């Protein structure tokens, strides 16, 4: 019997679930415990098929719009946040709703409201069509915010009043790309107000720093996450920026073995919405073909946890 080739596996830490994702999933679980199935969830609670399927199996029904929720059923809003019109509609219909918006996304929402109240026009750095962006735009009157996705957009911007601008960002952007966009905005509009704190969240920054640290010594990097998960896609880009081949896979069965051709040292991480179980599944899968020498590279330790909404804490 021939011996299996050796594969050195560097696993980034922190990786996987962040405090906002943890909280959102817990809210759906506790809502099912409290109200019984079914509990409706507006949009994927977090962008991960495995998580969504597990919650479906426990009695969650995922819909895209409130109009799909019956009058007598409880509904949870996803971690990405929703426009103000969504809770307003839910209240108007007397729906029992729970808001699983990540507190760090809510913080950006409140900043947007304050800036508009202070008379600023907001330049929002983010990805068009992402639910977080739709939710944040929905906190302020139409026309109060302009989206820029990249440096090109920032260069092309022609605001009506260039002296009255402020910027905010999506929480799950690339730290490096965003810094470039911000530099462009500050060069073009020197009086633009910056957010009080960093809008890119701790989990996004930490996971990017961790993948950067392992990419430097790896031949290739695998990221476990969904293609619609912004922070997961950013992790692939961060690794690629380091000059490393990188790929996003949803779970072990998606792995194309040819990706590992010529790879002696593989880096592995997971997006903020990907459960650790999927990391372990991939390690086991790799072990079917390789003798895996696994080690973890920890760049920082996270201890953040968010409170559950009122009414659910006691059920925890
Ligand atoms: Fe909150 Fe950041 Fe996690 Fe998004 S990635 S849910 S903003 S902690």
Beta bridge partners of 270: 224
- Kindly state if the Cβ of 27 falls inside 6 Å of ligand 1: no
pLDDT tens readout for residues 83-93: 999 999 999 99
| pLDDT at residue 315, rounded to an integer | 52
Pairing of strands 60-63, 121-125: unpaired
Asked whether the predicted pLDDT for residue 314 surpasses 80, the reply is no
Instruction: Examine residue 14 and say whether the peptide bond preceding it is cis (omega within 30 degrees of 0).
Output: yes
203 lines ligand 1 (CB under 6 A): yes
Average pLDDT over the chain, rounded to whole?
96
Q: How far is the CA of 23 from the centre of ligand 1 (A)?
A: 10
pTM of the complete model = 0.96
> What does residue 174 show for φ and ψ, rounded to 5 degrees?
-70, 125
Residue nearest to atom 1 of ligand 1 (CA): 20
135 C-beta closer than 6 A to ligand 1: no
Closest CA to 78 of 3, 25, 149: 25
What is residue 246's three-state secondary structure? strand
Percent over 90 (pLDDT), the chain? 96
Domains of the chain, each with CATH number or no CATH: 6-17+202-298 (3.40.1010.20), 19-99 (3.40.50.11270), 103-188 (3.40.1010.20)
Listed in sequence order, the DSSP H helices in the chain are: 19-35, 49-58, 85-92, 103-117, 131-137, 151-156, 175-188, 202-215, 230-241, 276-286
Dist CA 10 CA 169 (whole Å): 31
| DSSP tag of 193 | B
pLDDT digits (tens, 9 = 90+) for 282-304: 999 999 999 999 999 999 999 99
């Amino acid at each position: 019997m021939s011996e299996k080739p050796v594969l050195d596996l560097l696993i980034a830490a922190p990786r996987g679930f962040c405090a906002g994702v943890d909280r959102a999933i817990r809210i759906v679980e506790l809502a099912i415990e409290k109200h019984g199935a079914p509990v409706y969830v507006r949009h994927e609670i977090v962008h991960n098929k495995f998580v969504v399927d597990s919650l479906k199996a426990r009695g969650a029904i995922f819909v895209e719009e409130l109009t799909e929720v019956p009058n007598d059923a409880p509904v949870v809003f996803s971690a990405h946040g929703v426009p103000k019109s969504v809770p307003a509609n839910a209240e108007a219909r007397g729906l029992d709703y729970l808001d699983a918006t990540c507190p760090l996304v809510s913080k950006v929402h409140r900043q947007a409201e304050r800036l508009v109240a202070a008379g600023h026009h907001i330049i929002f750095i983010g990805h068009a069509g992402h639910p977080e962006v739709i939710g944040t735009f929905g906190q302020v009157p139409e026309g109060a915010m302009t989206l820029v996705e990249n440096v090109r957009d920032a260069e092309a911007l022609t605001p009506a009043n260039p002296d009255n601008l402020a910027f905010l960002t999506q929480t799950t952007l690339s730290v490096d790309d965003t810094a470039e966009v911000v530099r462009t905005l500050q060069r073009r509009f020197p009086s633009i107000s910056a957010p009080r704190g960093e809008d890119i969240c701790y989990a996004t920054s930490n996971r990017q720093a961790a993948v950067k640290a392992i990419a430097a010594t790896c031949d290739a990097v695998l990221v476990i996450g969904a293609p619609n998960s912004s922070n997961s896609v950013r992790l692939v880009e961060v690794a690629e920026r380091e000059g490393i081949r990188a790929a996003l896979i949803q779970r072990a069965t998606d792995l194309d073995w040819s990706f590992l051709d010529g790879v002696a040292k593989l880096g592995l991480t997971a997006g903020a919405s990907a459960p650790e179980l999927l990391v372990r599944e991939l390690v086991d899968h790799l072990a079917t073909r390789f003798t895996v020498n696994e080690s973890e590279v920890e760049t920082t330790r996270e201890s953040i946890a968010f409170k559950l909404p009122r009414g659910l804490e006691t059920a925890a």
